[in-house]
Amino acid sequence: MKNKIFDIVAIVIGISGSGKTNVIKTLEDIDFYSIDNLPIKFIPNILENFFDAEKSNIKKIAFGIDSREINFLEKFEKLKDYLSIKKKEKKTLLDYKILFIDASDKILCRRFQETRRKHPLNIQNDSFLEQNIKKERDILMGVIKHADKIIDTSDLSVIRLKTIIKNYFNYDSEKIIINIISFGFKYGLPYDVSMMFDVRFLPNPYYVDELKNLTGNDEKIVDFVLNNLETKKFVEKLLDFIFYLIPLFIKEGKNYISFGVGCTGGKHRSVVITNLLAREIKNKFLHNTNIIHRDINK
């Protein structure tokens, strides 16, 4: 049996309220298999199960660990030793990174007050927030020296934090997934779309007997829909609008965009325009572009 080889294991540690959960979510967005708040002693067992698996498409895995564990530092150092051994073997693990997420005490207090959540170390509800923050810092003091990357989120927006994480792991944030869905209004609206376009004003092949039973994937339908002055003007303006929007969506930190294109039945006009949009977007941006013709066979 050939052992599973991970490209990288990320260990995320942070002061409570610093944004550790946002980091875990971002790692999921860049294809890490992420597990948060797992007791440290279980991490080697989970990794060994992956190492022994015959088939797995997971190449990157991240664990968020919590300072509330008894003897936290001792357990953390054992975990680091385990990962170091695996990395030296180069049979099951190529690399690992330890991320430490921090923020100023003032910012941490403000965040806890805004969310109205108690500090996780205040189990008995018998101490002040500032005391718990100091207690947690004392626990984690021995961890910071092992960190490969320390991120202070005091003045960071969530979008900026995502960018830092993506850049650190060499993730191409300029590449996103774009889904374009054709649909028929008569069958209801698609749920997961960023923006929707109605093309029912375009010439309808349904009313031409020889075209009625064809679909927007057929050349005769493509010619019928596109060889029209109004269609050409619409497509030109629509592409200009979408080409303007996509970089703004990327800048905002989106990992995927879904555009919906609807006509009456989802079989002719919307299919033609969806295919055209997908082709033009892919040619311009080279993004991973997916086409979904939801109602083409209804």
- Only one residue has tokens 């749920």, namely 191
Give the C-alpha separation, 237 to 227, whole Å.
Answer: 16
Amino acid letter for position 65: I
Report whether pLDDT(130) > 70.
yes
pLDDT-derived band at 171 (thresholds 50, 70, 90) equals: confident
The CB density around residue 83, as the number of other CB atoms within 10 Å, is: 20
What digits encode the pLDDT tens for the residues 223-233?
A: 999 998 989 99
What digits encode the pLDDT tens for the residues 27-63?
A: 998 889 999 988 999 999 988 888 776 556 788 999 9
Contacts of 35 (CB under 8 A, 6+ apart): 46, 61, 62, 63, 64
| pLDDT of 296 | 95
pLDDT-derived band at 85 (thresholds 50, 70, 90) equals: very high
Q: What is the mean pLDDT of residues 125-145?
A: 83
